[in-house]
Amino acid sequence: MKRKISHFLITVLCFSLLSFPALASEPTVLELINTTGETVQIKVTGDSSSTIRLSFLPAGASTVTTIILGTTDSSGQFVTSISSGGYGIPAGSPAYATINGVQSQMTLWPSYASTITLDKTSVQIAVGQSITVNSSKTLILSSNSLTSSIGTVLSGSQITITGLAAGTGTLILCGANAGCRSIAVVVGTSSGQTQITLSKYTTTLNFMASENITIFGNSTNGYVVSSNSNSASVYANISGNTDVVSLFGSKAGTATIKICAAGSETNCTNLYVTVSSATANTLAFSQNNLNLIPGLSQTVTVSGDTNNSYYISSNTKAGVATATVSGSTITVVGGNTTGSTVITVCSASINNTCSDLQVSCNADTTTPSSTVLAFSQNVVSVHKDSMANVTVSGGEGSGYSVSSNSKPEVVTASISGGSNIISLAGNKEGSSIVEICSADTVCASIYVNVTAALVPITFSQNNVSLTPGQTSTIIITGGTDNNIVYSVGNANIVSANISNNGKAVVLTGGDTSGSTVVKICEDTTGSNCSDLTVQLTGPASSTTTETTTTTTTTTTTTAAEAAATQLEKITSEAAIVYSENINSILSNISGVRDESKETETASKYLNSLTSNESLASADANRLNFFITYGTQTTTILGAGERAGVIGSYKKAFGKLPKTESEWSDAIKIANGRWPGEESQTALASAKIEFKKVYKREANMSNPNDNAAVSVIAYGLRPAARNTNSEKAAIKTFKAIYGHDPVSSLAWDIVRAIAYSGATR
């Protein structure tokens, strides 16, 4: 911080110490020196006997990390050395120190020699695929530039990277006393790819909601929907020679959609879609991922409940931000704690209908004064070819100017005469440090990050014709995941509601004929908008004097239809488990992740199940996720019983499920269905146990005998439990075998006695 103070002023202050209040805070000065390897010496001067906060922004990170560095001595001095890698600070990271609200100049972390080695520094994977990267050091994840596309799991010196959605990003990995390295990650790219992959393989649609799935595979002739197992529930279409399959959920149910390269019967892949019932909706926000400072409030509009009745269900860190709701307006206020919180908002009139609002707060902001400049944002993000404004205060309160700009080719910074607003124009992707000074040369810096250019909003149809009460869903391309209905010209002509997290708008005809415009924008500021023209024709209603006879048709689902539906669901669930994608697994059961339960599952069940068997990390994860969370058809069993299902599968086939078809068989066992694979060894052993229990040979033509042998062989679980039958079966088992049932085989025999209907 620069300050010009005349010799005369210093003399007056020295002679007046006893008559005037204490001087303002000392300027904070930060000096960084690379001493050896990746060790950096930190020197800070400022107010004496005061706490020092060090803030830094690793490349790719979206929020500043702040740590308590220590306390200055009685003369305002502080010196220490730290491991750059141990604190996860890559070379070139912007950093500054703060003492008593006074911020130092922004400076870049020194270059240093890193000793971390990685067996891969760039990876290319498809959505749903995983790859493991090994290191010479125990790893720390410093930053993930695209968490929506790249999933990570750290385990010692290994990191498992999973493709969540198509995209390109960078991981920064660090290690104590070793520095940092980066890994470039590409997910779902079609470059050089011939086999079809998808941006996602499983998805859940709300009733009457839509979604676009991107296809990768470098097919010059385009793609086709080869088959759709349930077109009544899911409409799937690929328009022309595009690489997008459009989905629309028209009825609750599940569908397996086969997508192939045009002209090929072998280059294909399956997309598994679940459509939830009309009451299982998801709420949408006008914007998400809010960035606040203490005391700053921001409003968000929530939609999804036609009664506009919502409540705040939970707030993970109330110190970061608080939230209140009035009608469909949520007011969020920044707290006094730096960090992130998740605020869960629920519908008061629709059961199990909630969504999460992500909020971050930077409490380490500078307090403005006559000797200190402060900004509305210290770290600013602006799109390429777009503008952003930052307010500056402090100093003399006027005469602000741009003193320096480290990369003017990245961002143009300017201040109009007499203004306190800094205008930032993004020129190209990158970052820059901009220094601002007041008229009395009090200066401070902001860090500007220029991201990719805005994607214009377009629609699958620009001119829509409706009749009263008619509904039409229009697919939105571009903008963000939080596109909103900014305005409706005439709400009597049409109502408009955002669906599918900003990727579709549902239009419903009103009761007044005419034409109007629906404006869709990417945020509440009205930036990046496009207009939809809607024409409403026809009368709202008609009246007749004729007598109308109403015939009510009752649809009865047969046992065969129910079984076929269950089998479709099991096939879909097997694909979800096999994907190893924790987000898809949690979405399938509408659950939340609990890593402590995953740890408990590993120690309580996996160690015994996987003894004497070597498993890849992906196979171990699938087992853990299935036992911990289950699927829609197996959540009723509980973790212990799901572990028992895996034990029964292993007993029957002498192996653990690893392929998608093997997982299908495991889930069939959990649902009491015969597996697709047959084990003659298991059946032969089961017939021996049958003879011990029933004192005769099994007649496999008798359905009860067949059921008993199959339950013993494969461990088939009952569709509905009867605890009284099980208690009686346990007594019978103890009378025959002389001990309590303990092993998987023993419990399978108990289930056969309780449920098969076989008799002596």
Q: Return the minimum-mean-pLDDT range out of 168-172, 319-323, 368-372.
A: 368-372
Strand 253-261 to strand 244-249: parallel, antiparallel, or no bridges (unpaired)? unpaired
Q: Among 144-158, 219-233, 405-419, 590-604, which range has the highest average pLDDT? A: 405-419
CA distance linking residue 560 with residue 542, whole number of Å: 43
The candidate with the shortest Cα–Cα distance to 127, out of 147, 106, 111, 150, is 150
pLDDT over threshold 60, residue 633: yes
CA distance 519 to 624: 46
Residue 132 bridge partners (DSSP) = 160
Residue 31's beta-bridge partner residues?
Answer: 43
Q: Are 716 and 710 in contact (CB under 8 A)?
A: yes
Expressed in angstroms, the distance from the first to the final Cα of the chain is 93
Q: At what angle do helices 744-755 and 723-737 cross, to 10 degrees?
A: 120
Burial 374-409 (b: 16+ CB within 10 A, else e): bbbbbbbbbbbeeebebebbbbeeeebebbebbeee
**What's the pLDDT score for residue 79?**
94
Q: At what angle do helices 617-629 and 582-589 cross, to 10 degrees?
A: 20
pLDDT digit string, tens, across residues 260-304 = 888 887 778 888 898 876 544 567 777 777 777 676 677 888 887
Residue pLDDT, tens place only, 476-503? 877 776 677 777 888 788 888 776 556 7
pLDDT at 279: 47
Give the separation between CA 331 and CA 198, rounded to whole angstroms: 38
What is d(CA 742, CA 721) in angstroms, rounded to the nearest whole number? 19
- What strands, in cross-sheet order, belong to the sheet with 179-187? 122-125, 179-187, 167-175, 140-144
pLDDT band at 411 (very low <50, low <70, confident <90, very high): very high
Place of tokens 């359905």: 703
Query: Smallest Cα–Cα separation from 324: which of 343, 340, 348?
Result: 343
pLDDT of 543 > 50? The answer is: no
State the residue for tokens 């709202």: 540
Strands (E), 478-584: 484-488, 494-499, 504-509, 514-521, 529-536
What amino acid occupies position 34? Answer: N
Binned at pLDDT 50, 70 and 90, residue 373 comes out as confident
Binned at pLDDT 50, 70 and 90, residue 697 comes out as: very high
Q: Which of 13-27, 132-146, 625-639 has the lowest mean pLDDT?
A: 13-27
Rounded mean pLDDT, 216-242: 80
Q: Write the secondary structure of 592-629 as one string of H (helix), E (strand) and C (coil).
A: CCCHHHHHHHHHHHHHHHCCCCCCCHHHHHHHHHHHHH
CA-CA distance, 227 to 215, in Å (whole number)? 16
Q: How confident is the model at residue 551 (pLDDT cuts 50, 70, 90)?
A: very low
> What is the C-alpha to C-alpha distance for residues 382 and 412, in angstroms, rounded to an integer?
11
Residue 682 has what DSSP assignment? H
Rounded average pLDDT over 78-85: 90
Q: Reply yes or no on whether the pLDDT at 238 is more than 50.
A: yes
Threshold 0.75, pTM exceeds: no
Contacting residues for 358 by C-beta, under 8 A, at least 6 apart: 288, 289, 290, 340, 342
Sequence letter at residue 133: V
